[in-house]
A and B are shown apart, each in its own frame.
Chain A
């Protein structure tokens, strides 16, 4: 059983979005932190590795569609314990929307062959549509299982998972192959090990382009004609004085009522 983990490289969680005058977008980290594996994807990578450790998966293959710099995200996936990584990169993929991304990912999953489970994160912290997993499932014609908080059984051609919904949990079983998107409750991602880092830094990551995948017309149906950063929040700090903790707390509660916060 092969497992594929789809992961995107994103800016760090502390990066700020800047919209340049020409409307193009850049993310810059004030502390100069590098781009990272999309934080939600750390859970899906971990789950992929656990499918190998606990459910007999033979391969755990990380896929990223992106530029050359996305190799770094794939190296992190390898360092954590993925057995293989493939970069999907081509000038023709630039500017793809989620549908275009899904097309490329689905073609790559088919090319890998014999994949039973494709795991995605909940959403990417930059684009943040949360659509890629289900659109990829649609392209593949596989069952999508979203908001998965536990994989409880895999075998006999089917999978049983727990889905975490606003109102509770739901246990569902579906025939393989499936596309899964995970929530953070599913596990605690491991740190990459030193042995893994060494293996990853020596690995050469194959690159598949449009020709290898036999996809064309990736492009974008969605046109984001206006992008703007939210105006910075205005605010001020008020220190609450009082003779005792009780008095300070009472004053604070009164203020919060006044401001309709509580």
Chain B
């Protein structure tokens, strides 16, 4: 057993950290307040490798190991939750299934631009107005074969990156009979006629990561655009979410780390009753708990990522990691505000933004309740 990152992983972390400290973190407040996506930084991510983390080098990707990919998202989130979510969804949710299930022609057509930042980003579209946790029963968007095309009709909800993407991976009902083999992933270019992306949702946080309702009206794409196996959309989705959950765990750890660092700094500076608040035991305990829980969450993220990299089953572990890391993050960010007192509630201090950002993490890519359900099914053999 070895708890050290390899030299290469340490160097990755160093480079991403320096990049984020310079290009991402200083813009986080502006990104949140204006809702302007930080394209300036994201364009610079292409050459670095951040937009094709786990994509093979043959398609222009960085082909880093699963732990390095988690580290990259953790560091991005330390700088800016919005930017991290966009990059996480692009890499894990959209490019992930293309790498895993795509045909050679699909990979050649899409990956070289998407992985290098020459194009825009990509997104995965599962959720609908009436279906989130229950995709199997709830998805109503249909894809019907007509000649050499799929005709897609329906509405999707909460699509991260839709307005800043070239490509959507859309979960569609391809068998009206329903059941676990009735869904398929279909690749839909965002500029296909009949696709309309609604204005960005107004959200509590993550304002620099645009989220959209998208409607499909007789959208026609070639039959060859089905991704992976027709009818295996649900299974492909669940596998993609396993990987996405590790990434959301990493994102939550990065947000918690940023809030914790801000709280430590503030605890040294702020004086009450003649001494820095860092000298009050109640404040010390919040910080000690935060440091401990962040460490535990980070180790879980690396553990789940390691299992993924080794090609072992990790569905339960990914669910445990996401559940724990996101709930830790909420607690740590909540207490970071507490340490700041009234100033923590002010938009002038970053802990306010981080708290709003981390709130999503127990919801997106499977709520905490769904994670518990997944874990329970595994441990109880249900």
Contact = CB atoms under 8 A, between A and B. Distances in A.
Interface of A: 75, 79, 190-195, 197-198, 201
Interface of B: 7-8, 11-12, 15, 18-19, 44, 47-50, 53, 57, 62-64, 68
A39 to B, nearest CB: 12
A193 B49 contact: yes
Contacts of B11: 75, 79, 197, 201
Contacts, number: 38
Given A75-B11, A195-B49, 6 more contacts: A190-B47, A191-B47, A193-B47, A194-B50, A194-B64, A198-B8
Contact of A192 (B15, B44, B64): B15
Contacts of A75: 11
A115 B49 CA distance: 31
B125 to A, nearest CB: 28
Nearest to A72: B11
B62 A193 contact: yes
B7 A193 contact: no
B57 A195 contact: yes
A197 B68 CA distance: 12
A194 B48 contact: yes
Contacts of A193: 47-49, 62
Contacts of A190: 47
B251 to A, nearest CB: 19
Nearest to B18: A191
A201 B11 CA distance: 9
Nearest to A201: B8
Contact of A194 (B7, B18, B44, B62): B62
B8 A197 contact: yes
A193 B16 CA distance: 10
Contacts of A201: 7-8, 11
A201 B15 CA distance: 13
A-B pairs, 6 with minimum CB distance: A194-B49, A194-B62, A201-B8, A191-B48, A197-B11, A193-B49
B196 to A, nearest CB: 36
Nearest to B6: A201
B8 A191 contact: no
Residue among B44, B57, B62 with the highest chain A CB neighbour number at 10 A:
B62
Contacts of B50: 194
A191 B44 contact: yes
